[in-house]
Amino acid sequence: MPIQNITELELDELKSTISNLGSIPFHAEQIFRWIYQRGVTDFSQMTDLSTALRSQLSDSFVIPTPSVVHRQESTDGTIKFLIRLSDGFTVEGVFIPDTPAMTFCISTQVGCAMQCRFCLTGKMGLSRNLTAGEIADQVRVMAKDVGLLDQTFNVVFMGMGEPLHNFNATMKSLRILTTSSGFAVPQRRITLSTVGVLPALTKLANESVMPNLAVSLHATTEELRDKLVPINKKYGLNDLVQACRRFPVKRRERITFEYVLLADVNDSSSDVERLAILLKGIRAKVNVIPLNEAPGIPFRRPSDARINSFGRALSARGVRVFIRKSRGRDIRAACGQLFVESTQLSSE
């Protein structure tokens, strides 16, 4: 049997694979616990497995682990990680404490193809998709660094990349994250953010693992969204909203609509009116995200007074509203600020 990367296997795949070694399914659960709950990457240290099995595993599998190239901590406790993958490409991940739970923000691609005009990651372009193992491994690396491997935490797919543009790997990583003998992250503690890749959004509605859905809206007219979120030219605003109306939402849950607020662009009283009309009848909440300004982004952050006025006006129209507090702005770890200066490092 050729040597396999064990972190690319779901639990059922691992059970099937190790059966060829004469092992029983329970051994796969033990291995998952060692890797994901204890952070062990050496089969010889998996002491509740027999010596013979540990030797067989070492001959048959590898446990590659991304490395932390750089770790930067904000004054508010947020930590940004520059994570190096096995081929030298790098992505950024973020740990956000007390939100109110502990939260890991992970990436699904090296860069992003969506080119949203207010987002630094979009200026990178897309280098490649991450594998399912690379997506889940970001949690493994960051959780071990901050001592939370065996604790309860949240995961948000809001880092670099569009998760639904890398659909199969994203879905597989979700299954790895939620496996009870692995990270055991409850589905309700996972949020997936998308700009609205409609065919994939439709497929998501039928998946066995259903994360919370966050839809990046950012505009209330087709014309403006065409300019801010170019994929809108392919999958338009009205079609996206209709897809959200059809999306299955569990009782007491809501679809989150993310709205980056740009001064004198999408923050008018007319935008409030249109947004309330667009979302009428949807179990929705709106995260108002004041722009996190960055060099190369051609927009300004509205004043605090304008931000609060927008939120109050939307709430007055019956929309549940949250104004997101930016975390990690001083280390460029906030929403829309993830950007790798050099997307690939030497592997030497």
Q: Enumerate the active-site residues.
A: 92, 335
The amino acid occupying position 312 is R
Q: Are 160 and 110 in contact (CB under 8 A)?
A: yes
Largest Cα–Cα distance in the chain?
70
DSSP string, 263-316: TTTS-SHHHHHHHHHHHTTS-EEEEEEE----TT----PPPHHHHHHHHHHHHH
The span from the CA of 99 to the CA of 96, in Å, is 7
CB-based contacts of 93: which residues, under 8 Å, 6+ apart? 80, 81, 83, 104, 105, 106, 107, 138, 141, 142, 159
Query: Is the peptide bond preceding residue 295 cis, with omega within 30 degrees of 0?
Result: no
Q: Sign of the CA dihedral 199, 200, 201, 205? A: positive
